[in-house]
Amino acid sequence: MASFCTTSACARPLRPRPRASQRLHPWPRRPPARSAARKGARMDICSYVAWFGLYSVLGWVYECTYCAIRTKRWDNRGFLFGPVCPIYGFGMSALVIAAQALSASGAGSANVPWWQVFLCAAAGSAVLEYTTSYVLEKCFHARWWDYSNIPLNLNGRICLPFALCFGAVGTLLYYFVCPLIGGATVTLPLTAWEVLALLTVGLMSADLALTLSALTNLDKRVQQDKSNFDAVMETAVDDIAAGRKPLEVDRQIAREHATEELESAAHRAAREMSLVQRRTLKSIKYYSEEHREARAAKLREAVAKVERERKARKHSR
């Protein structure tokens, strides 16, 4: 007689055998809406990164043009070696995000009022500029800009006239340049945005690494110059203390010898400096420590002299 199993394990109904198509795709596919949302988020991130690079280049053009008009000579401005000013890229990207947030929150219509954009640009530029100046000075003991001679400044890092100027420029960019860029890039696929974002991140990272290396080596040269000066002066003091020569004569000789040694050391250092190091030295407004600034000033003079010598040799050929 056939016996039937009445246990719960045997009583379970058998699952139907999956079809071939189900075996090939064991995991359920994402719903189209979620996939489209993730794709849109990726495109937003990549587009912001690409726009950051573009506005960094535009900021460099603006900075160099302004300084060229003011000083009547071209000067490669910016913290990095390449033709970029990341502070402008960060500022403009933050302005676009803030304006979109204001529009979405109902603070304004679909087109955010100009005065809100202006306030965001002016206040945001002041906060970003002050923070950047403070961090750079703490890390490298140097300042790349100084507003001490401009009225209504705060510790020389920011000032009201330039904050208003940045607010006006940001407003113009938001209402006139951003729509042009958006219209020109609206048909770009996600792959193109990803390539642009990767290029921006890669080039910026390489430039940052190159600049940080140049700053580190430059600081070592400044410290080495100080060590050479201390060694020369220590020798002079020892000679004076030993009384080997009259005091006044020895002072004069020691002063002349120290000057010659420092100029010779600075000239050697200037010849050995790379293009990135010379560019970095020129971009620094001044060092916050007096002894660093004194040595850096001698290096700047030596670099200018070496560049004049190289130009003279090039023209003589």
Per-residue pLDDT reduced to its tens digit, 210-251: 888 888 888 777 776 655 555 555 665 555 555 555 545 455
> Across residues 188-214, what is the average pLDDT?
91
Q: Is the pLDDT of residue 157 over 70?
A: yes
Domain range enclosing 74: 40-188
pTM: 0.75
The pLDDT assigned to 260 comes to 67
> Is residue 195 assigned to a domain?
no
- Specify whether 142 is located in the same domain as 280: no
- Specify whether 181 is located in the same domain as 254: no
> Is residue 193 assigned to a domain?
no
- Specify whether 184 is located in the same domain as 214: no
Q: Are residues 143 and 284 in contact, defined by beta-carbon separation less than 8 angstroms?
A: yes
Distance of CA 122 to the CA centre of its chain: 20
The pLDDT assigned to 199 comes to 95
Q: Which residue has the higher pLDDT, 128 or 12?
A: 128
Q: What is the mean pLDDT of the chain?
A: 78
Q: For tokens 């603070």, name the residue.
A: 107
Q: Are residues 128 and 94 in contact, defined by beta-carbon separation less than 8 angstroms?
A: yes
Domain count, the chain: 2
DSSP single-letter state for residue 142: E
Domain boundary among 188, 220, 242: 188
> Across residues 41-70, what is the average pLDDT?
89
> Is residue 303 assigned to a domain?
yes
- Specify whether 124 is located in the same domain as 181: yes
Residue 247 three-state SS: helix
The pLDDT assigned to 160 comes to 96
Q: Which residue has the higher pLDDT, 268 or 97?
A: 97
Q: Is the pLDDT of residue 205 over 80?
A: yes
> Across residues 162-170, what is the average pLDDT?
95
- Specify whether 101 is located in the same domain as 225: no
- Specify whether 64 is located in the same domain as 96: yes
- Specify whether 68 is located in the same domain as 165: yes
CA-CA distance, 210 to 81, in Å (whole number)? 8
- Specify whether 216 is located in the same domain as 153: no
CA angle 151, 152, 153 (to 5 degrees): 95
Give the list of residues 6+ apart from residue 88 with CB closer than 8 angstroms, or none. Answer: 55, 56, 58, 59, 60, 62, 63
- Specify whether 109 is located in the same domain as 178: yes
Retrieve residue 161's tokens. Answer: 């006239």
CA angle 278, 303, 297 (to 5 degrees): 95
Domain boundary among 188, 222, 253: 188
- Specify whether 68 is located in the same domain as 111: yes
CA-CA distance, 83 to 79, in Å (whole number)? 10
> Is residue 200 assigned to a domain?
no
Band (pLDDT 50/70/90 cuts) for residue 312 is confident
> Across residues 114-142, what is the average pLDDT?
93
- Specify whether 170 is located in the same domain as 252: no
Band (pLDDT 50/70/90 cuts) for residue 110 is very low
For the ranges 98-107, 116-125, 261-270, the maximum mean pLDDT occurs at: 116-125
